[in-house]
Amino acid sequence: MTSELSYDELARRNNELQAQVASLRNEVELLRKSFLPPETYYKDRFYKINENVNDVVYRFNVTERRYEYLSEQTSGLFGYTTHEIINNNKLLRHIIHPDSMPVFFAQWRNVFRGTVPDFTEVKIIRKDGKVRWVLQKNIAIRDKNNKIIAIEGIVTDVTDRKSAQEKLIESEAQKKAILNNLPHLAWLKSCEGKYLSVNESFASRFNKTVDELLGKTDYDIFDELSAKRYLEEDNIVFQSKRQLYIEERENDKTWEKFKAPIFNEQGEVIGITGISLDISRRKKNEEAIKEYSEKLAVQNVKLKLINDELTEAKEKAEEADRLKSAFLANMSHEIRTPMNAILGFATLLRDRKLPESKQVEFINLINANCRQLLNIISDLIDISKIEANQITIFNKNFNVNKVLGALRQNVENQIASLSKPIDVYLKMPLPEAEANIFTDKVRLEQILSNLISNALKFTDKGYIELGYKIDWDNNDIVFYVKDTGIGLTSKEQKVIFEQFRQVSTSYNKLYGGTGLGLSISKGLIEKLGGKIWVESEVERGSTFYFSIPYNVGQKLQPDRIPFVTVYNWKGKTILIAEDEKTNYYLLENIIKPANADIIWVNNGYDAISACKDNPCIDLVLMDIKMPDMNGLEATKQIKAIRPGLPVIAQTAYAMPNDEDNCIDAGCDDYIAKPLGIDEILNKINIHLNRKQTSGNNLKVVKKQL
């Protein structure tokens, strides 16, 4: 059993072991060198280097003046293989670019003299002719006598870096050229107030060179008062860390100056830059312009007053012209619509043998449309008389309660025919025996009828209330018509009593009418010595009031002509797009004897859907003024999906340009209401025959389910 060793003995033995290991390592290395050829040895030595770099690794034997080793990356950088370069020393003369040849030879002369540069940059020519820049990093390998026996190193492609440096140099030169050619004075100062850089314009102002001003302060260049002021400006920039704008006068010149801080990467202010521009000429021009502008301002005020008057007059004229045009177009439509039904059904009564029930039905429709037409004509006559101040008032005694009762009955009948969920209320505070008044009964009924008709038109559900009350303070009787309809905006309330304000120039039909009812009512009320007003809220309804002084008082059947032309369209399908049920009924009865199948829609969207869903449709009769989508837009979309489908416009728009609008929208033909039966049958027949002859070319689009 060995005795326990001391710490010192252990340390001594450890050192001896380490020395023995080092000696063994040296012996192994010598053995490897003796048994391995030089090329294999050095390849093994630089193996790890080659694994971690993309550069060329080499060893050059200075004594033998040849490359002992070149890494495999040689071919990638130079385009030559390792063996080509090692076996041909003269090849380097072709690789080194002529521009770098002096540097290259100077380097190797130093190497052979015993001095090895740490690195050298040279330009090379690859085997494919491309020029690259390389950086050669060198390490001198010395023997035990400190003599250089080899150079080991790495060659790196630095072409991209050199290119970036050249661009940077070029960029800096450009910046310097720009600054020196600016008419502005530009400078850069340190935090201590010393000028670090100035441009040529700055130096020229003081008859100095740029170098003479570098390192100077404002106290070296300007007078003490100016230098102090400039220093205060700089301090403001340093403290606020924001740009400063100054405009100052110096002798007879005005300068515009900008100063801004310069920051380092930590956001600290490390200097200040500035630029100053002589704006004397501009200031003089501004003063001249200001003086001239003041003179013009007076003239502009006068011109503005004149222009305002002209603009107002122009707007009024344009508005009047627009309303006039809209009124004429709408009036044409409103007159032709009932006329279409009147003439159409009258022709059917004349030309066809119909059962008595059908004759009575047609006659009732003719009468209804005649009354509608008569109302339109009456409105036109009344508005003309009001404008010409030719309205005559005929006062008489009558019972106002009975008048309101009759009006209530009429509106209830209209509601029943329209199938609207509307109740009618009547409020009459005067007892029947005391309800006699003395005024124009016909005009009062006309005013109330207009207001009730208006309420019914714009109310789809809820109620309409008709009544009156006595304003004893002013000795007036105040009538009112209240509804729960769509209501009016404040802007609409201001113009609602003007002529034609309800009229829309759009083809989309909303509520119809001439737009004269309220204007006529206003004129009649004023003629009766009263006034009219409205209280309304959008989507909550409207109440129309009017006051007047309260004065207390005490069929031949036409010859039937046989229908001569006979059409047979059996197997054909005709789509009728018509929102007026009467007009559709007329067209149905015109077409039905020809044995065609009929599809009816009452708006443009349904017309498009029908044409998509029914490829059997052979022709479309298209009304133009319809709700939701008008006939012109519907025709455009139908023609887009079925270009060969004939579309005939049948419309009450009969102004000179309306036919052109229909044809431009894609309609194949045009018929103005009131419709001529022979004309429409003939046109339908023509287009059905044309479709039949070209049917193979029609494009049918089926609905995707």
Where residue 635 falls among pLDDT bands split at 50, 70, 90? very high
- What CATH code is assigned to 182-278? 3.30.450.20
Look at 368 and 58; give whichever has higher pLDDT: 58
Query: In the chain, pLDDT over 90 holds for what percent of residues?
Result: 27
147-177 confidence digits (pLDDT tens): 888 888 888 888 887 776 666 556 556 666 6
pLDDT the model gives residue 562? 39
Look at 464 and 416; give whichever has higher pLDDT: 464
Interval 468-481 mean pLDDT: 95
Non-local (6+) Cβ contacts of 435 within 8 A are 399, 400, 401, 402, 428
| CATH superfamily label, 49-164 | PAS domain (3.30.450.20)
Q: How many CB atoms lie within 10 A of CB 306?
A: 10
Residue 387 reports pLDDT greater than 80: no
Interval 132-146 mean pLDDT: 85
pLDDT the model gives residue 33? 52
Q: Measured between alpha carbons, how far is 387 from 384 in angstroms, rounded to an integer? A: 5
Which stretch of DSSP H or E encloses residue 462?
Answer: strand 462-471
Measuring CA to CA, which residue among 428, 425, 481, 480 is closest to residue 453? 481
Non-local (6+) Cβ contacts of 545 within 8 A are 478, 479, 480, 532, 533, 534, 535
Query: May I ask the CATH class of domain 359-549?
Result: alpha beta
Q: Measured between alpha carbons, how far is 381 from 383 in angstroms, rounded to an integer? A: 6
Fold match between domain 49-164 and domain 182-278: yes
Where residue 425 falls among pLDDT bands split at 50, 70, 90? very high
Residue 382 reports pLDDT greater than 90: no
Look at 147 and 116; give whichever has higher pLDDT: 147
pLDDT the model gives residue 1? 39
pLDDT the model gives residue 619? 96
CA torsion through residues 508, 513, 518, 523, sign: positive
Could you tell me the residue ranges of all domains in the chain? 8-45, 49-164, 182-278, 359-549, 573-697
Residue 67 reports pLDDT greater than 60: yes
Q: What is the pTM of this model?
A: 0.37
Where residue 503 falls among pLDDT bands split at 50, 70, 90? very low
674-704 confidence digits (pLDDT tens): 777 888 999 999 999 886 655 433 333 333 2
Q: Measured between alpha carbons, how far is 514 from 499 in angstroms, rounded to an integer? A: 9
For strand 244-250 and strand 131-142, is the pairing parallel, antiparallel, or unpaired?
unpaired
pLDDT the model gives residue 678? 85
pLDDT the model gives residue 38? 52
Interval 381-404 mean pLDDT: 83
Residue 504 reports pLDDT greater than 50: no
Q: Measured between alpha carbons, how far is 642 from 667 in angstroms, rounded to an integer? A: 12
Where residue 356 falls among pLDDT bands split at 50, 70, 90? confident
Amino acid at 241: K
Architecture, CATH, for domain 573-697: 3-Layer(aba) Sandwich (3.40)
Entry field: residues in the chain: 705
pLDDT the model gives residue 474? 93
For strand 617-622 and strand 573-577, is the pairing parallel, antiparallel, or unpaired?
parallel
pLDDT the model gives residue 393? 84
Interval 201-217 mean pLDDT: 87
Residue 112 reports pLDDT greater than 80: no
Most confident among 205-209, 279-283, 619-623, 699-703 (mean pLDDT):
619-623
Look at 37 and 67; give whichever has higher pLDDT: 67
Non-local (6+) Cβ contacts of 599 within 8 A are 573, 574, 575, 576, 610, 614, 617
In 498-616, at which residue ranges do the beta strands (DSSP E only) sit?
Answer: 531-537, 541-549, 573-577, 597-601
Look at 523 and 48; give whichever has higher pLDDT: 523
Interval 460-471 mean pLDDT: 94
